[in-house]
Chain A
Amino acid sequence: MLVRAGCSSGPCHGNLNGKGGFKLSLRGEDPSFDLRAILRGATGRRVSSLDPAESLLLKKASGAVPHEGGVRLNPDTFGHKLLARWIAAGCPDDTAKAPAVTRLQVSPGEQFVRPGIDKVLLKVTALLADGTRRDVGALASFEPGTLALVTHAAPVVEANRRGAGSVLVSYAGAQAVARLHFLDHEPLPMAEAAHPVDRLVQGRLARAGEKTAPPVSDHVFLRRVWFDLAGTPPPVEVSRAFLADKSPDKRARQVDALLEGPAFAEVMALKWADILRVEEKTLDARGVAAMHGWLRRAFLDRMPLDAMARELISGRGSTYAHPPANFYRALRDEQARAEAVGQVFLGLRLQCAKCHNHPFDRWKQDDYHGFASLFSRVRYQILSNDKRDMLDKHEFNGEQIVYMARAGEYKHPGGGLVVPRILDLAGAVPASADPLVVLAEWVGSAANPYFAKAQANRLWRHLMGRGLVDPEDDFRLANPPSNPELLEFLAAELVRGGFEARSVLRLIATSQAYQRSWTSDDDEEDDGLASSSRPRPLPAEQVLDALSQVTGSPLQLKGWPKGTRAQELPGVLATREGGRRPSSDVDRFLRVFGKPERLLSCDCERSSEPTLAQTFQLLTGDLLQEMLARSDNRLGGLVSAPLDKAVEELYLAALARRPSAGEAGGAARIVSSARSRREGLEDLLWGLVNSREFLLRW
């Protein structure tokens, strides 16, 4: 009841230090502790069996005496009466003999609520260990996952704003979730769809009464698919040919061509290098090159994702000769390793369960530490460490051998024994086995309920910009997928295709869902149903490579082969010889546009919001100015071309389309107003690459 009233929440008495001298276990995870705190704390004033009404517990909760937390339980509520009855009965301790809750059911588990209705009654049933069932709607605690839902009259859930949201229901350590869609529109008949992805997308959209945005035009599609699968805008010749192509299957053919191209592996390698922490200080430049090269090779060779995961999780040996060993080289303690495997391969953020049971999922503290203990035997044989800064324990420069010690020690922070096991799987990992080989086998196996979904979700997000579960590495009871049927289907397709990323990407990229435009009446928060496509920022590397390609000015990267693109850089730094502080213009540019430092195992480290510093890079920065002004760039060849041809080429290069009639006239006028043709073309191109049509992937 105290959990339900919010008393033991994090900001209140559930805080590590309690509140006002009264500490409860966080969200009631330890009933015995709470009982002691209530009975024995505050010199016994909290409860008074002789005069329950005088109990501090009730007086505080009802606001009869000043309480910083306000009124939590009015005297006329069921909760207040229940507590008073319990106190009057002498506060019996039933923690030992009360039958455990084996499962919690909430009904409806999901409901689409028609316009005009703003309340839903939830029925919560606890399945007890003794085989009985009990309605606990009046006892359980309810936590809405969005501000749009309120639960002060739980088990009735009320919507103060239309939209989808979930409510997490907890009772006696068990949890269940209800997903409620308060619709704006009446459901629609389902639109016909030939593509399997579209059938599943349309199914949800019809139930939610949402209309779809129209498909994008050819040039938008072309630009979109090039950025997503090759990391650059389409070259001028490609755009010309694609726009001229009249065949109905040209979009699908373009997807196929890009998936088979070499740049696809670069896009994927960059993505994975981000979350595998491929950065120079810990891996050193050679290790970074080895690891990135291995990732690139893996995608070129169509290595299945499950095989890749197995290689990385069981990775050991020389970090130079056997690149996957760099996975653990970058993760120097067992908890970092466990958390990384959770996020990268399983889509689980386990961190919350390190210090207390996960408040919004079923993970217990013991699950976390049992899992982390699997990684406690990883050791490093440091063959050489020629580091610049002897005081820096994060810096390594030289070869290392990753190996498994015969035994390892792992201590539970709360004391007591840690049983090494894979999350909540029954049964310990036998001490005789190599725990990481056992784990690696399990991760890619059919027994693993997380891997295929987590990877399918990552692929969906790569193309669609938002995960079906979002954030992509946060699968959690209280964060259900926006389209569970579609996630199941994509995961099954990934398995069916032998875990090869291309098959699922092809499936998604050829759907109507991928090819939708954005409509301005879709201004609300993205509900993940893919009724339209939201514009998103280009990643830092793509902005720079696009500027370089469009202006025809290859990047000047010291220490790298001529023509190296930002997307191909294996690590964080573009300055090869390094220094403590990356100092080149390119490094600064990439950092300003959000290239991550790769110190976290999370794609969330890459930032994407527009900033003033980005604008200044383009407005007054030297890098773009130099690209525009180089005499041998694209403009060099256009100075003597007829003006309309030059304008057309610049539009095609920057935006994959031809100028409209109005634009062609305007552009000619602007170019002609300059002191020279060259200067005029530079200014036009500056305008093109500073436009949002250029700066967005839309």
Chain B
Amino acid sequence: MRMPWPMPDDLTRRVALRVGFGGLGAALLPGMVPASAIRPPKVKTVIFLHQWGGPSHHDTIDMKPDAPMAIRGEYKPVASSLPGVPVCERLPQLAKVIDRFCQIRSLNHTMKNHNSAGYYSLTGMAPPSDDQRLRDSRDLFPAYGAIADRFAPPPAGVPGFVSFPHQIADGSITPGQHASFLGKAHDPLFVGLDPAQPGFKLPELSLPEGVDPARLARREEARALVEAQLGPLEKAPLARGIAEQHGKALALLGSAKVRNAFDLSKEPDHVRDRYGRTTYGQSCLLARRLAEAGCRWIQVYFNRSIGGARGGWDTHGFRGEAMYPILKDYLLPITDQTLPTLILDLEERGLLQTTLVVWVGEFGRSPRINNIAGRDHWPQCYPALLAGAGVKRGHVHGRSDKMGAYPASDPCRPEDLSATLFHLLGIDPATEIRDPLSRPLPLSPGKVIEGVLA
């Protein structure tokens, strides 16, 4: 059942008890309300831009021009719209809008493998081990979007959690991309298609071949005929649940709002061009359209694979995959075209008042350039960019040390970021959910990063 949003505190707590596999609830509930009472939500929509592979902070937004050559790298910083906060010369458009952002430069954790770190970055929950092929099992934590869908349900008729255009993997599927033990009802509406392709449309919202609307109406008539015989069974909770989902699916199928949101051909050419005619560019445009439609959590994955010539940010410098050419010709231009466009577009439409954009990977990259001219995994210190509702504008929270190796002030963990995001959505991070063994877990074990809040 959908709760009105935002939910009153006590209701949130009571609902929390029944979530997941709970049953035996009260025994573990602290008999008190935490000191930090929940403020009304400032954020209606989160656009979470996941930078798979792990972007280099030295070559983007946390440059170290005074460090030795082997650390500072090839690029120079240039002045930005935020005095005293330079940005990489290869990101000139981002430099112009960096005053809209709140940067965190002191994120850190200890997971050196993509899948474990990726899971951490998608859930805010530390993985059980640092495992290159961490298996996606149902006792692992739900994705942020699933929690948002559960505890800050979207308005009727729009999906709460939408993710696209990739399912990320490193050898095996990265955990943390679905609702896991929170229940499949909170899984994302996942669109594994390229929005940059002509004719892009949502298969779920397209009738199968040979079935026109008139035929669908006849089918529904046949279904109604059988349903009319259901009798008392109709009132069983599960039967109501199925009917509810069926109604929702039909509503989505018939809703111009959602279908239009997915129809990028409705967008003028100059806007599509501005975002860039790349998979990522058009995905960010789709994200803006879904934000307009009222979705709660929109997750865009930068790329399906960690690295390579046209992959994610994993720039070790392996043979045939030299780091600087990939940064120069692909990673940085795409980022510089799309991210500032998204921010400005949201701002122009007044959506940045209620939408929070988050740009973060699973870790950063090593300060020292390795002997094949690449940078390796570096979870000890890495950045995130936030912009929009609820967070400061033109602010840097936490500093890295002079090599960009470790936090020099205000270190933050992924769980602190998750607590902050939930808090901004009006969800108490201490809300308890139950894993498949009914063990109680808070939505986030971290602390809200007060320093970034507007």
Contact = CB atoms under 8 A, between A and B. Distances in A.
A617 B275 CA distance: 33
A592 B432 CA distance: 26
Contacts of A146: 24-26
A307 to B, nearest CB: 29
Contacts, number: 241
Nearest to A151: B26
B229 A147 contact: no
Interface in A607-626: 607, 609-616, 619-622, 625
B173 A581 contact: yes
B35 A68 contact: yes
B37 interface: no
A620 B203 contact: yes
Interface residues of A, number: 91
Contact of A518 (B24, B236, B442): B236
B84 interface: no
Interface string A579-620: 011000000000010101101101011010111111110011
Interface in B409-454: 430, 432, 436-440, 442
Contact of B32 (A70, A622, A662): A70
A692 B222 contact: no
Nearest to A615: B249
Contacts of B234: 520, 692
B218 A670 contact: yes
A684 B14 CA distance: 43
Given A395-B133, A611-B184, A619-B249, A605 B436 contact: yes
Contacts of B205: 620
Contacts of A36: none
B184 A594 contact: yes
A537 B183 CA distance: 14
B221 A621 contact: no
B24 A691 contact: no
B28 A688 contact: no
B439 A352 contact: yes
A625 B230 CA distance: 25
Contacts of A523: 235, 237
Of A535, A610, A614, A662, chain B has the most CB atoms within 10 Å of the CB of A610
Given A679-B215, A692-B242, A9 B135 contact: no
A613 B208 contact: no
A394 B238 contact: no
Interface stretch (B41-49, B136-144, B288-296, B379-387): B136-144
Of B167, B222, B234, chain A has the most CB atoms within 10 Å of the CB of B222
B110 interface: no
A619 B242 contact: no
A519 B235 CA distance: 9
B227 A691 contact: yes
A259 interface: no
A336 to B, nearest CB: 11
B233 A693 contact: yes
A470 B220 CA distance: 38
Contacts of A597: 135-138
B185 A611 contact: yes
A1 interface: no
B76 interface: no
B172 interface: yes
B24 to A, nearest CB: 5
Given A479-B24, A534-B238, A621-B208, A690 B246 contact: yes
Of A352, A619, A629, chain B has the most CB atoms within 10 Å of the CB of A619
Given A68-B34, A394-B135, A691-B227, A667 B233 contact: no
Across the A-B interface, the 3 shortest Cβ-Cβ residue pairs: A687-B222, A599-B137, A691-B226
Interface of B: 14, 17, 21, 23-32, 34-35, 131-133, 135-139, 159, 167, 169, 171-173, 183-185, 187, 189, 203-211, 215, 218-230, 232-239, 241-246, 248-250, 252-253, 430, 432, 436-440, 442
21 contacts: A9-B28, A359-B28, A389-B172, A395-B133, A535-B233, A536-B238, A580-B173, A599-B137, A609-B241, A610-B241, A610-B242, A612-B249, A615-B248, A620-B204, A625-B210, A663-B226, A670-B221, A687-B219, A687-B225, A692-B230, A692-B239
